[in-house]
Chains A and B, each alone.
Chain A
């Protein structure tokens, strides 16, 4: 099985190809949107490439959940509700929800999408 370093190496290659960034920009802490400049269509591209590079299947919404903010029970007054945070924990066990819960503004959701989150996801996926 691939080590975490090997996974990071392949994830880095994937993001370099998908986002046109330099490999030294792809750190574990880097966020896809703010640091690496990903746009909506890039998320689909990243999923396509990860599936191919790791020879796995990633069902739609599993790595990058969709429609979280459109559910009124999960979001109120620009903040993710307690129920919303519980939903995030359930749907995104690979993300650092604890840090997000300290300041659960809706716009902070995209900061959950980090390189580390992808590496966690792939590590778990390969172990299954």
Chain B
């Protein structure tokens, strides 16, 4: 299994907002344990999906110059659940970005139904920082690794996003 908790970006406006879709499938092993007979997408993995959506939004605006680390989830509220067959849309808005990191607000919806909303804070690690020099960039999902899913992304007006060109 790969640590991808979004399948594709469907909108991407650099430095402002991004929408990604996560299709929940009964083929996902963990859904058979969460819970036996009642498969629901775990809230923790929805937070990860929201963080991947927002983290890439933040990383992209700095051309992935920094390693973006999920630092804190100051707020997260779950209103409903998502089950196999649902397409969860994570809608992230960048509310703050600076040298040290940034903050996003993200909602998760299935159709018109609000599943969850969260505020997520990230910090930047500088790849040139000797203290972190040994970190393998490939281990971090908020980086170039996930650019592949941006390539099929579309900007809000339906044209290809600039990153994906």
Contacts and interface: CB of A to CB of B under 8 A. Distances in A.
A92 to B, nearest CB: 20
26 contacts: A17-B74, A17-B75, A18-B74, A20-B74, A41-B71, A41-B72, A41-B121, A41-B123, A42-B72, A44-B71, A44-B100, A44-B101, A44-B121, A44-B123, A45-B71, A45-B72, A45-B74, A45-B121, A48-B96, A48-B98, A48-B100, A48-B101, A48-B103, A48-B121, A52-B96, A60-B100
Interface residues of B, number: 11
A20 B72 CA distance: 12
Contacts of B98: 48
Contacts of A52: 96
Interface of B: 71-72, 74-75, 96, 98, 100-101, 103, 121, 123
Interface residues of A, number: 10
A60 B123 CA distance: 14
Q: Which of A18, A20, A45 has the most CB of B within 10 A?
A: A45
A36 to B, nearest CB: 14
Nearest to A18: B74
A18 B74 CA distance: 6
A41 B75 CA distance: 15
Nearest to B72: A41
A101 B151 CA distance: 59
A48 B95 CA distance: 11
Interface string A38-79: 000110110010001000000010000000000000000000
